Amino acid sequence: MSLQSKLESGKFAISCEFGPLKGTDTTEIKENIEVLKGKVDAANVTDQQSSVMRLGSLVTSYLAVAGGLEPIFQMTCRDRNRIALQSDLLSAWVLGIKNVLALTGDLPQLGDHPQAKAVFDLDSVTLLKAISRLNEGYDLAGNELAGKPAFYAGAVVKVESNTEASTELQIAKMERKIAAGARFFQTQAVYDAKSFGKFMKRVDKYKVPVMAGIIPLKNAGMARYMNANVAGVVVPDDIIQKMADAPKEDREKTGIQIAADLIRQMKPMCQGVHIMAIGWEKKVPAIIQAAGL
Amino acid sequence: MILSEPKPLEEVLGYLEGEKSVFILGCNGCAQSSGSGGPEQVAEMKTKLEAAGKKVTGTKVIDFLCEKALVKSGLRGKVNEVKAADSILVMTCGIGIQAVAAAVNKVCHPACNTVNLGGSRGEWPGSERCYECGQCLLDYTGGICPLTACTKSLVSGACGGANNGKCELSPDKDCGWELIYNRLKARGQLDKLKVALDPLDHNKLAARPEMLATSRYALENHDQEVKA
C-alpha cells in the first residue's frame, strides 16, 4: 500500500529517512534500501542535508523506486530557482517518484560550501504551490503541460518552539502550507509526548495527517548537543539521564527503547511516525519492532 | 551611504606591481565616513607606498567620487600629476572606483572593498534596509521588510531555524519573521499571516535602463574628458 493510500485511509504510516553520501559509491544506499523495503511505508531521501554537497536526492529517490522502496523526494529551495525546481519535479514524476516533501532548506553558510549563493527563489510554501500547479497541468507561469504529474506533497512543521512568536509562526505557516497544497506533515524530532499532544490539539482541526518525528538517541552527549544547537528539539532531562546511566554496551538498546516508548505514547495522537535515524538506518526495523508496529 | 573598507596593503601592492608611480585619489563622502578613503587614509597610504618604493606623483580627495562630473572638475588642477603617474589608486567604494575609471583615461586600481549593506543606497538610515524589490510587501509584514530582515528573504513566513528568536545564522541576528510577528501582533494585524504571497518577481529587482539616465548622466556624457 502506498504512503498516500495508507494515510488517506486512516491507517498508521511509518516513514524514515536516508541520505545520499558524498561521492558516486551507492553501496550503502542500496544496502539501506534492502534493509528498509517492506519495513517502512516510505523513506525520505534528503536533499543536500545541512547544506553539505552530496549525491542528489532525485537520483537516489530513483534508486529507491528501482529497489522497491517508496521514496519521499525531499526538495529544498536553497540550490535551485523555480525553473530548475519545476523541471526536476517533472523529471521525478517520469522516474516514478510520487511523494515530494517541500522544504525551504538550510542556509549555505551552515554547510561545507559556505561561499555558495543561496537561491531561495521559492520557499517551502511557494514550492508547494508550484507542485499543486503542476498537478493541475500548468507551470507557475500558467503555461499548459503536455502530461501532468499527480504528486502527493508533504511538508514539515516544528512542534517545539521557545518563543511565542516562533510557535505562532509555525502554526501560521502550517496553514499556509496546507492552503498551498501540503497533504501530510512530518514533524521535527519530538521527545515529549505531552507537548506533542498539546500541539496536535491545536492542529487536529486541519484534518491533515501528521507523522511524529523520532530521532533515536545514541548517547547523552547527542541529546545535549541537540538541545543546545538544533532549533525545535527539546530532550527532557529524564531521558538524557536514562542515556547517561546506561552502561556503554546497553546504550544502543536504551536509545531504541526510548524511541519505541515515544512512538507508543504518541501513536494514538497522530497518523504516523517519521524515524530519522541519522546513520542508524539499519536499526530502523528494530525500532519499529520494539514499538510494536 | 555606501560602506567601504580598506583592502590589505599586500593586495594593493600586488596591483601596483611593475609600476613605478601612482596618483592617489580619495573621497570626502562615504569613504571618508567609512574611514577608508578620507584625507587621513590618503596621507597614510602615501607614506606606505613611498616606504614600499613607489613614487607618489600627487594626491587628491574629492567630494564625491561617485559623481563623474565632480571627478573631472576636481582633477582639473592635478592634470600633470595624474599624467605623470602610471596609474591611479582609488580609495573608495565600487561605484567611485568605476566612476573614476570611466572619467579618467588611466589605469585605476581599487584600494577598498565595498561592504554589502543589504540594499541601502544614498542615505544613512537606522537599522531598516530596503531591497529595492519593486514590489513592496510592507503592508503584509507590519512595516518590516522580510527580504532584508530575514536572512533567507522568505516571503511566506519563518523557516524552522530560529532559536530563542535568533536566526540560525548567528545568535546576534534577530529572526526577521519573529520581529514581523511581534509587530503584527502589537498592531492587531495577525490576519496578515494568512495572506499567501506570490514568489518574488526577480525581474523587478533589476534596475530599469531609464533609472540610470538621470540629469547627471546627461551632464557626465557631455562634459569634457580629463585628458590624461
Query: What digits encode the pLDDT tens for the residues A10-47?
Result: 999 999 999 999 999 999 999 999 999 999 999 999 99
Contact yes or no for A122 and B181 at CB 8 A: no
Mean pLDDT of all residues in B30-57: 96
φ, ψ dihedrals at A154, nearest 5°: -125, 175
pLDDT tens digit sequence for A90-113: 999 999 999 999 999 999 999 999
Which residues of chain A make contact with B191, given a CB cutoff of 8 A? Answer: none
Concatenating the DSSP letter of every residue in A67-126 gives HT--EEEEEESSS--HHHHHHHHHHHHHTT--EEEEE----GGGSS-TTSPP--SS-HHH
> CB contacts < 8 Å between A and B, how many?
95
Domains of chain A by residue range: 3-283
A163 vs B152, B155, B165: nearest CB: B165
Residue B155's pLDDT is what?
94
Contact yes or no for B178 and A163 at CB 8 A: yes
pLDDT at position A253 over 50: yes
CB B90 within 8 A of CB B84: no
pLDDT at position A162 over 70: yes
Contact B203/A at CB under 8 A? no
Shortest Cα distance from B97 to chain A (angstroms)?
Answer: 25
Contact B152/A at CB under 8 A? yes
Residue A289's pLDDT is what?
97
Query: Which CATH number applies to B3-117?
Result: 3.40.50.2300
pLDDT at position B228 over 70: no
Spatial separation of the C-alpha atoms in residues A33 and A22, rounded to whole Å: 17
Shortest Cα distance from A27 to chain B (angstroms)?
Answer: 32
Residue B220's pLDDT is what?
67
B169 vs A109, A126, A175: nearest CB: A109
Which residue on chain B is closest to A104 by alpha carbon? Answer: B159
Interface residues from chain A to B (CB-CB < 8 Å)? 82, 104, 106-107, 109-110, 118, 120-126, 129, 140, 156-158, 161-163, 165-166, 168-170, 172-173, 175-176, 179-180, 188, 231-232
Residue B63's pLDDT is what?
87
pLDDT tens digit sequence for B212-224: 665 666 666 665 5
Spatial separation of the C-alpha atoms in residues B142 and B184, rounded to whole Å: 5
**Placement of cell 531561495 in the chain:** A120
pLDDT range class, residue B17, cuts 50, 70, 90: very high
Contact B204/A at CB under 8 A? no
pLDDT at position A149 over 90: yes
* ipTM of this complex prediction, to 2 decimal places: 0.85
pLDDT range class, residue B124, cuts 50, 70, 90: very low
CB A210 within 8 A of CB A280: no
Mean pLDDT of all residues in A229-252: 94
Which residues of chain A make contact with B159, given a CB cutoff of 8 A? Answer: 104, 123-124
Which residues of chain B make contact with A175, given a CB cutoff of 8 A? Answer: 194
Which residues of chain A make contact with B177, given a CB cutoff of 8 A? Answer: 165, 169
Contact yes or no for B158 and A179 at CB 8 A: no
Spatial neighbors of A95 by CB under 8 A, at least 6 apart, are A58, A61, A62, A65
> Can you name the residues that pair with A216 across neighbouring β-strands?
none
Contact B200/A at CB under 8 A? yes
Spatial separation of the C-alpha atoms in residues B215 and A271, rounded to whole Å: 65
Domains of chain B by residue range: 3-117, 138-205
Between B170 and B48, where is the model more confident?
B48
Which residues of chain B make contact with A156, given a CB cutoff of 8 A? Answer: 160
Query: Which CATH number applies to A3-283?
Result: 3.20.20.220
φ, ψ dihedrals at A165, nearest 5°: -60, -45
Please give the mean pLDDT across all residues of chain A: 96
Contact B205/A at CB under 8 A? no
Contact yes or no for B175 and A166 at CB 8 A: yes
Which residues of chain A make contact with B193, given a CB cutoff of 8 A? Answer: 168-169, 172, 176
pTM (2 d.p.): 0.85
Residue B136's pLDDT is what?
84
Spatial separation of the C-alpha atoms in residues B60 and B37, rounded to whole Å: 11
pLDDT range class, residue A69, cuts 50, 70, 90: very high
pLDDT tens digit sequence for B164-207: 999 999 999 999 999 999 999 998 889 999 988 999 998 888 77
Shortest Cα distance from A123 to chain B (angstroms)?
Answer: 7
Residue B130's pLDDT is what?
74
Query: Quick check: helix, strand or coil at residue B74?
Result: helix
Please give the mean pLDDT across all residues of chain B: 87
In our burial notation (b when 16+ CB lie closer than 10 A, e otherwise), range A100-114 reads bbbbbbbbbeebeee
Contact yes or no for A122 and B199 at CB 8 A: yes
Residue B187's pLDDT is what?
86
Which residue on chain B is closest to A229 by alpha carbon? Answer: B163
A173 vs B157, B190, B198: nearest CB: B157
> From start to end of chain A, where are the E strands?
13-18, 42-45, 71-76, 99-103, 152-157, 184-189, 210-214, 272-275
Contact B98/A at CB under 8 A? no
pLDDT at position A194 over 50: yes
pLDDT tens digit sequence for A109-147: 999 999 999 999 999 999 999 999 999 999 999 999 999
pLDDT range class, residue B210, cuts 50, 70, 90: low
